[in-house]
Amino acid sequence: MGKGNVDAVFQKLSRLNCMQRSRIVGLERARADIIVAGILILKTLMELIPAETITVSGTGLLYGLALEGIQPFGQASKIA
């Protein structure tokens, strides 16, 4: 996901109130109140690093740790 996409998602979600965000398909209702702050943190990190893109995954941290554990050291993942 590019910096422009992150900005667009931030702009869209920051215009909505928490109730409106909670109705978005794919966004966990429990995250509706914190998603805008999380994207703002991401935007700030992308500026500080600097990074033009990020990798977005629908899987969780545990999946990433498991995948890392089964790969030979130093090889990048081709799965997902």
- Cis upstream peptide for 50 (omega within 30°): yes
The closest of 39, 40, 12 to 24, measured between CA atoms, is: 12
Domain boundaries, the chain: 3-70
Q: How far apart are CA 10 and CA 8, in angstroms?
A: 5
Does position 21 have pLDDT exceeding 60, yes or no?
yes
Does position 15 have pLDDT exceeding 70, yes or no?
yes
- The confidence band for 73, taking pLDDT boundaries of 50, 70 and 90, is low
Structure confidence by residue, pLDDT tens digits, 28-71: 999 999 999 999 999 999 999 999 999 887 788 888 788 777 87
pTM of the predicted protein model: 0.71
Does position 76 have pLDDT exceeding 60, yes or no?
no
Helices (H), the chain: 3-14, 18-22, 35-48, 61-70
